[in-house]
């Protein structure tokens, strides 16, 4: 089964959860959001590299 994730959407969701949380839980959600943002950045970079190789 192929499940597609939208890292940007997941980052936004994690930040919303962070806003509702306190203390250590808030920090964990912030770290999760940062990880999703990094995945977004890597995905965009990878897509850009793939299209440059084709050209």
Query: Does 53 fall in a domain?
Result: no
Name which residue leads in pLDDT, 39 or 53: 39
Position 47 pLDDT exceeds 70 = yes
Query: Does 1 fall in a domain?
Result: no
Token code pair at residue 27: 């920090």
Q: How far apart are CA 20 and CA 7, in angstroms?
A: 20
Give the number of domains in the chain.
1
Q: How far apart are CA 19 and CA 38, in angstroms?
A: 20
Query: Does 31 fall in a domain?
Result: yes
Q: How far apart are CA 19 and CA 26, in angstroms?
A: 7
Closest CA to 28 of 36, 18, 20, 37: 18
Each residue of 3-26: pLDDT tens digit? 688 889 999 999 999 999 999 999
């Amino acid at each position: 089964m192929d499940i597609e994730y939208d890292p940007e959407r997941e980052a936004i969701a994690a930040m919303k959860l962070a806003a509702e949380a306190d203390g250590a839980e808030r920090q964990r959600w912030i770290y999760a959001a940062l990880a999703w943002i990094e995945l977004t950045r890597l995905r965009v970079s990878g897509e850009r590299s793939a299209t440059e190789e084709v050209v």
